């Protein structure tokens, strides 16, 4: 046995396999995931596994490597979130989201940092050696709401679209603030003295990190869209570019100490509409499916690793500090949401209700990002205390808040996601109103969101589309596209119900075939049953085939690496089927 | 800039990006790939890049790591080959393929090894220090035909199915022989004396390595099929299992020194039909697409790395040895094919023609497997000579043979792949004859391939299907399935041509809408044009929608990580559409 040789890929594959099997396991019992969020179950699996490893080896199980987390596990989840982000509610609430993400996070960092420093002054807690800067550093890593944890819980409780995008958007965009503050305080900790200049430079960095991330992301997104203009001859590698370019945008942003999360979201949202217009339908399915699959696996791995890493001897259990950390996290978030929403509501007609505010405050889950950041701290004598406090906050928010939020949502009658999607009529009216408002804003000289949206659309159709789309000169009305799509779907359903073209329907065909071929039914050869040997059935089928079949069908195409089976000459086939059909009618 | 931090994933992504862009580049000029095989172009790109790296750094560019090749680049290609292997021609010719793969490869190894040893005895060549064992070791790595190179060339020349499967099958299955002989001679090289027992053990190993590989592969394939029985509730991770289990089968086989290639092929061929029956259509598309994409990228990377690794100072240019290596590779392969085919033709009605024999001999391309094996050799003073000889053989076969094989196929009028696939009638007859022959063999007591095939199918439908398929109790006749598929396709085409249900066709709708809305046409907002503001068109569309639409359509579904948009409640929609349709008719 040569295990050394295959160790790395073998263990990675086994971990992924374990994660996938755990997921299947939960879903086999439908009741379990409806009570306990999947994230809790996965952490629980991780805890058990960590316990087993700890018990067998008698030393702490391996901790999740921060590099692995930030370079390999986080990007798929953020890419998925950005690519499937509903853009309309996101941009409608962008102001509120940014306020929560930037001001709210800063508020939490300083609030938690200063009040924990206050706790450290109590002599009986033996914490006097934890300086203000260390407390602020700890605050900067514990303050940020975690997108992975938030997504995992909120996608199961189906709150209304606005509430969802507020919590979710905040958790994604606060990354820029976290990156800046965390790095700032970490460098301050190592400096002998802090000058005013350093603080000012820190403030300037906010804008560089955030806007830099957006620019890097958009640049890669545009290049990705441009690249897919030229993939018509090799459809097979189309999906690759979406993944490659968005990953490159993340890595590039990380390389320049910008916000990778912001970059990958900008990249995904920027390229989506152009890429989707350029690529084939099958490539599109592959992208969607693969993205979901990948983010799902990453997410599972993160929670399992969180559980595994919790077990061990990396902790210093100073209970007062830990207890007050949890309390302050809750209090400062609640206060922050209340104050910020007060200002938000003064400038908006569509206000954030009290119930919504409660859920926003309560939904501030912490997760793997804090956990990775705390392990990335430079070694100092109280690092294990911070690790312990972070672990407890994560477990508290994910287990207690994560498990009770669904009952609370039901109890408070929080407005849920509308079960019926907007009708076509509603959509037409919304769009009409958009144009109307853009016109009013234009006439009144007020540069509001509708004005800018209209300008952006103009710029898009005038310049960007020509450059980025392969067939930019045929803008089809989306209502026609919708109609086409519905007709196609309808046709499939008619065909499946056997209502098409007066041929015997498939179920009736099956039933008429079965009684007279019972004796042959048992042996199924290569997926083809022996029904066909019965002369009656054979005749029946032959007649149907003669009437409906395309001349010569290639059912087993030759092997070819670069093409997929069944993609050749649809036009010719369609023509012939139509001719045959007309003749028979 | 913190490049160190992101170096590994960044460079991997950039290499893949380069490979994909190179592929797009070639396909932009249609003429180039039709004259020069893509593999040659890619090696050429690699040579240029290697030259640049060499010129800039003044030291040899990095050589392709054998571990990376065998653990990460080779498996996707072999998986793709195994998964899309046409099983009927493969099993029909399995005897011939095995003869070529096992006996043919052994013949080549000893032929090349002994005759090169003869060359080494010529004093003026300064090669007397290369022992017989070293020559045999070199023979064992240079003798095997490379599946990656063969695939890359043969998929572009479209020879007939039998010829294709003979060359392709041989190149895949000879791996077991190569593994055994290579490891045997390598261990002999390090032994002080070789006993008869060691040689006998070597012979025994053939069977262990080959059959062991098959068993490992089949075991993982069955587990994979069994796992997909339970994925109905989370469709998203279905495709993952195909990749995970087949990769695990490869790694497990490698771990036990069995043939990984044989294992992964057995796994892919074994699980395919069960997995496909269990998973959803979209998962299936994702698997197919992703497999093609992945193998395509691996293949591209391998050829580029081959080119890059060629440049440098790893070579000892002893021209007589290199020249005779090329000559002996050609001669022994030609002789081997002639002799083996003579025996094959004596026992078969459907013989291998002279032209086919020539193409089989001429298509014996060497590639990256030899290259990786030669770098894996233990260090000894003539390793660089072997590297040089291997490099020249690979470049000669890929460039000279690869580029001339297409003109030769045309010149010799080698029977090509039939352009029209077998008709349904033909297929029914073939299947009928299969059953007839199985019956005849059963009565006459002759246990031929048809007898065993029939027994296997019986075992499959009686036991395996019940265990591995989710809905095993409803075996549908494949002719009914085909009919359903065709009806669905036909319906789509009818819908697209606007022939369905007496509604105005989409093109006519578009044309009638355009003249009266020219003024609105230019601004396309979010893919939805302003056509809809024109009252006439609006009325027209409303009428169509009212008649054809499902009650309320969800066009922008809410974000959810575990489901894909547009997969909900198709049954309900279908029902309602049918009701509406009936009412309107």
What was the pLDDT predicted at B368? 85
Question: Looking at the domain assignment, is residue A486 inside a domain?
Answer: no
Flag if A495 and B487 touch (Cβ within 8 Å): yes
**Chain B residues with CB-CB distance to A30 below 8 A:** 233
CA distance A143 to chain B (A): 25
Cβ distance of B85 and A509 shorter than 8 Å = no
Chain B: closest CA distance from residue A110 (Å): 28
Listed as ranges, residues in chain A with pLDDT below 70 are: 419-424, 471-483, 495-585
B384 & B453 share domain: no
DSSP label of A528: E
Nearest Cα of chain A lies from the Cα of B244 at a distance, in angstroms, of 6
pTM: 0.77
Task: Sort out which chain A residues have CB atoms less than 8 A from B282's CB and list them.
Answer: 285, 289
CA distance A294 to chain B (A): 8
In chain A, what residues touch B15 (CB-CB under 8 Å)?
none
Say whether A524 and B423 touch across the interface (CB within 8 A).
no
Contact B292 A236 (CB under 8 A): yes
Residues A428 and A376 in one domain: no
Spatial separation of the C-alpha atoms in residues A451 and B223, rounded to whole Å: 58
How far is residue B303's CA from residue B305's CA, in Å, rounded to a whole number?
5
Domain count, chain A: 2
Q: What is the DSSP string of A38-64?
A: HHHHHHHHHHHHHHHHHHHHSSPPPPP
Interface mutation target, options B78, B220, B256, B483, chain A, most CBs of A under 10 Å? B483
CB A89 within 8 A of CB A161: yes
Q: What is the pLDDT of residues A388-403, one digit of tens each?
A: 999 999 999 998 998 8
| Residue B448 is assigned to a structural domain of this protein | yes
**Chain B CB contacts of A477 below 8 Å:** 510, 513, 528-529, 531-532
- Please, are residues B226 and B275 in contact by the beta-carbon 8 Å criterion? no
A437: its two tokens: 């408002």
**Domain containing A167 — which CATH number?**
1.20.1530.20
Helix A281-310 vs helix A383-395: angle between axes, to the nearest 10 degrees? 120
Is the domain of A137 the same as that of A194? yes
**Cα B110 from Cα B449, distance rounded (Å):** 32
Query: Distance (Å, rounded) from C-alpha B253 to C-alpha A400?
Result: 45
Cβ neighbours of A208 in B, within 8 Å: none
Residues B120 and B221 placed together within one structural domain of the fold: yes
Q: Which residues of B561-577 are buried (b: 16+ CB within 10 A; e: fewer)?
A: bbbbeeeeeeeebbeeb
- A97, part of any domain: yes
Of B256, B480, B503, the CB nearest to A510: B480
Residue of A nearest to B281 (CA): A285
Do both B13 and B136 map to the same domain? Answer: yes
Domain contains A394: yes
- B108 and B205 belong to one structural domain: yes
Would you write out chain B's pLDDT as a tens digit for each of its 585 residues? 778 888 888 988 998 898 888 888 888 877 777 778 888 888 988 898 888 888 887 777 777 778 888 899 899 989 998 898 888 888 888 889 999 999 999 999 999 999 999 988 888 888 888 888 889 999 998 988 988 888 888 888 888 888 889 998 999 888 888 888 888 888 888 777 777 777 788 888 888 888 999 999 999 999 999 998 888 878 888 888 999 999 999 999 989 888 899 999 999 998 988 888 888 878 888 898 888 888 888 888 888 888 888 887 778 888 888 999 999 999 999 999 999 999 888 887 778 888 889 999 998 899 888 888 888 888 888 888 898 999 999 999 998 998 888 888 888 888 877 766 666 677 778 778 877 887 887 787 777 777 778 788 888 877 887 777 776 555 555 666 667 777 777 777 776 665 555 444 444 444 443 333 333 333 333 434 443 445 555 555 555 555 554 444 334 444 555 555 444 455 555 555 565 555 555
CA-nearest residue of chain B to A576? B490
List Cβ neighbours of B160 (8 Å cut-off, separation of 6 or more). Answer: B414, B415, B416, B417, B418
Is A289's CB within 8 Å of B523's CB? no
Residue A501, by phi and psi: left (phi above 0), alpha (psi -120 to 50) or beta?
left
To the nearest whole Å, the CA of A428 is away from the closest chain B CA by: 8
Residues A18 and A109 in one domain: yes
- Chain B residues touching A31 at Cβ < 8 A: none
Min Cα distance A175 → chain B (Å) is 18
Q: Would you call A548 and B490 a contact, using CB atoms and an 8 Å cutoff?
A: yes
Tell me if A560 is assigned to some domain: no
Mutating which of A220, A248, A286 best tests the B interface, going by the most B Cβ atoms within 10 A?
A: A286
Give chain B positions within 8 Å (CB) of A570.
493
- String of b and e for B299-330 (b: at least 16 CB within 10 Å)? bbbbbbbbbbbbbbebbbebeebbebbbebbb
User: What is the span of the domain harbouring residue B216?
Assistant: 3-412
Is-contact B157 B362, C-beta < 8 A? no
The Cα of A130 is separated from the nearest Cα of chain B by a number of Å equal to 30
In a domain, B511, yes or no: no
Tokens read off for B359: 């193409």
For A511-551, what is each residue's pLDDT tens digit? 443 433 333 333 333 434 444 345 555 555 555 555 554 44
Contact of B102 with B205, CB cutoff 8 Å: no
- Regarding whether A375 and A273 lie in a shared domain, the answer is yes
Substitution target from B87, B293, B533 for chain A, most A beta carbons within 10 A: B293
Both A183 and A323 in one domain: the answer is yes
User: Mutation test of the interface with chain A: which of B86, B89, B168, B234, choosing the one with the most A Cβ atoms within 10 A?
Assistant: B234
Largest CA distance in chain B: 97
From chain A, pick out residues whose CB is under 8 angstroms from the CB of B559: 81, 84-86, 155, 164, 168
Are B257 and B325 within one domain? yes
Q: Which residue on chain A is closest to B582 by alpha carbon?
A: A499
A339 and A270 belong to one structural domain: yes
Question: Which of B487, B525, B531 is the closest to A500 by Cβ?
Answer: B487
The per-residue pLDDT for A578 is 60
B538 part of a folded domain: no
Closest Cβ–Cβ partner in A244, A254, A480 for B13: A244
Clarify whether residues A459 and A342 are in a common domain: no
Of B255, B487, B529, the CB nearest to A1: B255
> Which of A293, A479, A489 is facing B239, going by the closest CB pair?
A293
Q: Would you say residue B149 lies in a domain? A: yes
B578 vs A497: CB contact, 8 Å cut-off? yes
């Amino acid at each position: 046995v040569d295990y050394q040789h295959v160790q790395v890929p073998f263990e990675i594959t086994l971990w992924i396999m374990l994660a996938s099997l755990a997921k299947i396991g939960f879903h086999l019992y439908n009741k379990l995931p409806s009570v306990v969020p999947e994230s809790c179950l996965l952490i629980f699996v991780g805890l058990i596994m960590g316990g087993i490893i700890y018990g067998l080896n008698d030393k702490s199980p391996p901790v999740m490597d921060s590099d692995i987390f930030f370079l390999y596990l986080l990007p798929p989840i953020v890419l998925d979130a950005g690519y499937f982000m509903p853009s309309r509610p996101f941009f409608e609430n962008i102001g509120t989201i940014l306020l929560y993400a930037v001001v709210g996070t800063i508020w939490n960092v300083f609030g938690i940092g200063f009040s924990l420093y206050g706790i450290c002054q109590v002599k009986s807690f033996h914490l006097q050696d934890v300086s203000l800067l260390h407390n602020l550093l700890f605050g900067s890593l514990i303050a940020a709401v975690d997108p992975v944890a938030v997504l995992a819980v909120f996608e199961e409780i189906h709150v209304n679209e606005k509430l969802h995008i507020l919590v979710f958007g905040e958790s994604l965009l606060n990354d820029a603030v976290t990156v800046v503050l965390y790095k700032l305080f970490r460098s301050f900790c190592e400096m002998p003295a802090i000058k005013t200049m350093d603080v000012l430079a820190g403030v300037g960095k906010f804008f560089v990190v955030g806007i830099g991330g957006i620019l890097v992301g958009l640049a890669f997104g545009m290049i990705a869209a441009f690249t897919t203009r030229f993939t018509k001859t090799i459809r097979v590698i189309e999906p690759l570019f979406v993944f490659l370019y968005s990953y490159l945008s993340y890595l590039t942003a990380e390389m320049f100490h910008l916000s990778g999360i912001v970059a990958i979201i900008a990249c995904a949202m920027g390229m989506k509409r152009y890429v989707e217009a350029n690529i084939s339908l099958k490539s599109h399915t592959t992208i969607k499916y693969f993205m979901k699959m990948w983010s799902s696996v990453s997410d599972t791995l993160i929670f399992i690793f969180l559980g595994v890493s919790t077990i061990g001897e990396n902790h210093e259990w100073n209970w007062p500090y830990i207890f007050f950390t949890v309390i302050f996290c809750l209090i400062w978030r609640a206060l922050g949401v209340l104050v910020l929403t007060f200002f938000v509501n003064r400038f908006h007609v569509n206000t954030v209700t009290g119930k919504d505010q409660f859920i926003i405050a309560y939904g501030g889950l912490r997760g793997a990002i804090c956990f990775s950041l705390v392990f990335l701290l430079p070694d100092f004598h109280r690092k294990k205390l911070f690790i312990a406090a972070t672990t407890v906050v994560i477990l508290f928010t994910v287990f207690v808040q994560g498990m009770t939020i669904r009952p609370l949502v039901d109890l408070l009658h929080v407005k849920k996601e509308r079960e019926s999607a907007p009708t076509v009529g509603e959509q037409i009216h919304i769009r009409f109103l958009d144009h109307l408002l853009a016109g009013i804003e234009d006439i009144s000289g007020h540069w509001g969101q509708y004005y800018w949206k209209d300008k952006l659309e103009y710029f898009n159709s005038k310049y960007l589309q020509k450059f980025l789309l392969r067939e930019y000169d045929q803008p089809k009305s989306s209502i026609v596209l919708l109609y086409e799509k519905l007709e196609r779907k309808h046709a499939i359903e008619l065909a499946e119900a056997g209502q098409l073209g007066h041929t015997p329907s498939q179920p009736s065909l099956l039933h008429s075939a079965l009684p007279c071929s019972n004796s042959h039914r048992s042996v199924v050869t290569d997926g083809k049953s022996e029904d066909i040997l019965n002369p009656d059935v054979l005749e029946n089928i032959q007649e149907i085939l003669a009437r409906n079949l395309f001349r010569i069908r290639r059912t087993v195409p030759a092997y070819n690496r670069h093409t997929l089976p069944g993609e050749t000459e649809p036009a010719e086939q369609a023509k012939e089927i139509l001719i045959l059909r007309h003749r028979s009618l």
